[in-house]
Amino acid sequence: MDILYSFEVKIFWSVFVALGFAILFNTPRRALWAAGLLGAIGFAVKSFFMNSVIQDHIVISTLAGASTVGVLGIYFAHKVHTPPIVFTVPAVISMIPGKFGYEFIIGMLKIVMVSKNNEVSFDYFLEVFNSGMKTGLILMALAFGIIFPILFFNTRTAKGKDFDRFIAEKIFFRLGIRKRKKGED
């Protein structure tokens, strides 16, 4: 019960984080609901993967959450007639690794500021390096999760396209099931 309550509260606050950054980034009003919903869904997927599917693998869990946001961002782009990047970036901000980034920066400052007679232990250096690598890999997972669906489906415009037919054609074309004719987008 307590874990579920904590999970629901975190999702609730991730909606407000996404909405706050969407407003900060001047996302159109018609797309604010999509940013909030994607923020909640992305954080829920990441938390679900972290707690049950692949426990304690934060990089893969973040990639799953960001990829979900990226794919659903294309769908919502067709619904609200706005480029997907406008509301996918605010939606993943709640997944940025603040704790690991903080540990990395503070650790690097301690390593640099240590005096000559006080040496840094190798174990401490490995902890700092581990925090830095986790931070970098999580940020790359967030960027890849947002951008890959946009590049894969190559969505230049949403005008005049039926989303379901468009996605089916793109997937079938990528798998080689259907050949495109000349002049097709």
Mean pLDDT of 175-181: 59
Which residue would you say has higher pLDDT here, 155 or 44? 44
Lowest-confidence pick of 78-82, 102-106, 130-134: 78-82
Nearest Cα neighbor of 150 from 66, 93, 34, 90 is 66
Would you state the pLDDT for residue 124?
82
Are 59 and 141 a contacting pair, CB within 8 Å? yes
Outline where 30-57 has alpha helix (H): 32-48
Pick from 50, 30, 95: nearest CA to 69: 95
Q: Which two tokens stand for residue 161?
A: 């396209």
Instruction: State CA 33 to chain mean position distance.
Output: 17
pLDDT digits (tens, 9 = 90+) for 137-167: 999 999 999 998 888 776 555 555 666 676 6
Question: What are the pLDDT digits (tens) for 3-36?
Answer: 556 878 888 888 898 989 889 988 888 888 988 9
Output the pLDDT for position 67. 92
Would you say the pTM of this structure is higher than 0.95? no
